[in-house]
Amino acid sequence: MRGWTRRHWVTAAVGAVGTALVIGLPTDVIPNPVFGRPVPVTWWSYPVLAVTAVLAGLLLATYVRTPTPAAPAGELVLEDDRNTRLGSVGGLLSFFAVGCPVCNKLVVVALGTVGARTWFEPVQPYLAVISAVLLAVALRARLRSAAACPVPARRPDELEHSA
């Protein structure tokens, strides 16, 4: 990350704010007039949302390509990346971790309202930890692979010929 450009850091900041809003508004961790929840927000939801937002923003910034002579700015470059799934699952788990247990339709259908409070609510802190670990693993893998083995840029017309 030492070699990141301003563009990387701006992307990380915008990604962090965007993630916080996408997760925090519908779960009502960030109070708003549109969404509400009958179960109060837990104290640990705020740090979980902050950690998730920072990790997701940093992970997003790893996808910013540094312009080089082989890859001019704005050129489409496709890469094979399995770490995207880890980040996506981590973000989704974070949403379930900080969300209201009885507002989650999937949980209520599967367990009922009482089951959501009895069985799902105690599991939410563990989901938060798993979420943060998955995001951190995905970020670490992206950072290590970017430094160890940069992918050569290929133009879209070259991709058609190689397929």
- This prediction's pTM: 0.76
Residue at 135 is within a domain: yes
Residue at 163 is within a domain: no
pLDDT at 77: 44
Residue at 54 is within a domain: yes
Number of domains in the chain: 1
**How many whole angstroms separate alpha carbon 163 and alpha carbon 142?**
25
Residue at 53 is within a domain: yes
What pLDDT, in 10s, does the model give residues 33-72? Answer: 998 888 889 999 999 999 999 999 999 998 887 665 555 5
What pLDDT, in 10s, does the model give residues 94-138? Answer: 888 898 888 878 888 888 888 888 888 899 999 999 999 999 999
Helices (H) and strands (E) in the chain, counts: 6, 0
Residue at 68 is within a domain: yes
Nearest alpha carbon to residue 55 among 14, 18, 12: 12
Residue at 158 is within a domain: no
Domain that holds residue 89: 6-75+84-151
Phi-psi region at 112: left, alpha or beta (left = phi > 0; alpha = psi -120 to 50): left
pLDDT confidence bin for 75, thresholds 50/70/90: very low
pLDDT confidence bin for 21, thresholds 50/70/90: very high
131 or 79: whose pLDDT is higher? 131
97 contacts 127 by C-beta, under 8 angstroms: yes
160 or 8: whose pLDDT is higher? 8
**How many whole angstroms separate alpha carbon 59 and alpha carbon 26?**
22
Residue at 30 is within a domain: yes
Residue at 162 is within a domain: no
